[in-house]
Amino acid sequence: MDKPIASVSRTRQILNSRGLRARKNYGQNFLTDVSVVARAAEASHCQGAVIEIGPGIGSLTEQLAARSRHVTAYEVDERLIPVLAEELAEYDNIEVILEDFLECDLNSKTEELLKEYGTVSVCANLPYYVTTPILFRLFEGPQEIEWITVMVQKEMADRFSAAPGSPEYSALSAECAYLYEVKKLFTVPPGAFSPAPKVDSAVIQFHRRKNMRAEEGLFELIRACFQQRRKTLYNNLKEYLESGEKARRLLEKAELAEDVRAQSLAPEVFAQLYELGKGMEL
Ligand code: SAM
């Protein structure tokens, strides 16, 4: 029996026999640690259908296919399409799509998969150069994608999962925490990849809260509240609302002190501010 694709020897054989080199501009760092790949797949709630972004040579795809009813994998590098077809030939539950994930029609694909398989989750070792746009595409995408489990740079994982009051807490963390319960599952050293990235990585998981939508107006307000991190909430709001008077009234309604800073506020507080602001027609 073949070794898993994620093993060092099989990865080497797949790449060398075809004269393939990882492409930096596509953020290609292939996972070569079977236990890391298996752990991520196992944690991903992938029983129904699972969407993978960037299957590479198939290390995670293989582990997902063994655990789910169906895998849909989006890959931009056309060189890898025949490799995936050959290396994963024994699985009949994988669809590889040659397309930039940022361009795909995520809503209709999710709808199609839901009808057929009941649940849709996402699991991926993300290309680091497009981590934020890919995650925001998912956050703004269908709510039915309940679980997202992804490998990202550790520093990004820290920012996404930061709690109010901690130095890493930002507009990004507040937006994320509003939509998801966010958990950092485990960290992964550079040696688990080939080629090795310069930084540590981490697997992070997002579990969608019920009936929470990525509202453009709310997210705009959150970003405005963090606009100048050293300024008070009042000062940031004053600029955003273009009026000190409006900012003061809004804070009063929300029963917040003028010297409070966005850094210390839970996502629900921003949501409350947003609702109060709508009511006051600011
Ligand atoms: N999943 C493989 C693994 O863990 O070994 C490869 C992960 S590698 C970090 C990222 C993969 O995403 C590469 O295969 C790369 O070609 C692909 N990729 C990069 N940008 C992409 C995009 N916009 N849409 C889809 N795939 C992309």
* Residue at 62 is within a domain: yes
Query: pLDDT band at 211, cuts 50/70/90?
Result: confident
Q: What pLDDT was estimated at residue 275?
A: 92
Question: Could you say which of 171, 192, 208 is where a domain stops?
Answer: 208
> From the alpha carbon of 28, which atom of ligand 1 is closest?
8
Which residue minimizes the CA distance to atom 19 of ligand 1?
26
Residue partners of 94: CB distance under 8 A and separation at least 6: 61, 65, 70, 71, 73, 84, 88
> From the alpha carbon of 23, which atom of ligand 1 is closest?
16
Residue type, 91: Y
Beta-carbon neighbour count of residue 115 at 10 Å?
9
- Give the pLDDT confidence of 90-110 residue by residue, as tens digits: 999 999 999 999 999 999 999
Quote the ligand 1 centre to 35 CA distance (angstroms): 19
Could you tell me if 273 and 161 lie in one domain?
A: no
Could you tell me if 137 and 248 lie in one domain?
A: no
| Percentage of residues of the chain with pLDDT beyond 70 | 99
Mutate which of 72, 76, 129 for ligand 1? The one with the most ligand atoms within 8 Å of its CB, which is 76
Q: How many CA within 13 A on the CB side of residue 245?
A: 2
**In terms of residue numbers, what domain contains 237?**
216-279
For the chain, what is the domain count?
A: 2
Query: pLDDT band at 214, cuts 50/70/90?
Result: confident
Ligand 1 binding site (Cβ under 6 Å of any ligand atom): 26-31, 53-56, 59-60, 74-77, 100-102, 125, 127, 130
- Give the pLDDT confidence of 195-204 residue by residue, as tens digits: 999 999 999 9
Three-class DSSP category at 127: coil
Query: pLDDT band at 53, cuts 50/70/90?
Result: very high
| Residues 68, 120 contacting (CB under 8 angstroms) | no
Could you tell me if 72 and 188 lie in one domain?
A: yes
Could you tell me if 48 and 79 lie in one domain?
A: yes
Beta-carbon neighbour count of residue 265 at 10 Å?
22
Strands 30-31 and 94-98: unpaired
The CA-atom distances, in angstroms, between 53 and each of 99, 109, 175, 184, 228 are: 10, 13, 22, 19, 34
Quote the ligand 1 centre to 130 CA distance (angstroms): 10
- Rounded to an integer, the average pLDDT of 243-267 is 94
Across the chain, what does the average pLDDT equal? 95
Quote the ligand 1 centre to 55 CA distance (angstroms): 6
pLDDT at residue 228 greater than cutoff 80:
yes
Query: pLDDT band at 11, cuts 50/70/90?
Result: very high
> From the alpha carbon of 52, which atom of ligand 1 is closest?
1
Could you tell me if 203 and 220 lie in one domain?
A: no
The Cα 125–Cα 28 span in angstroms is: 10
Q: What pLDDT was estimated at residue 203?
A: 98
pLDDT at residue 55 greater than cutoff 80:
yes
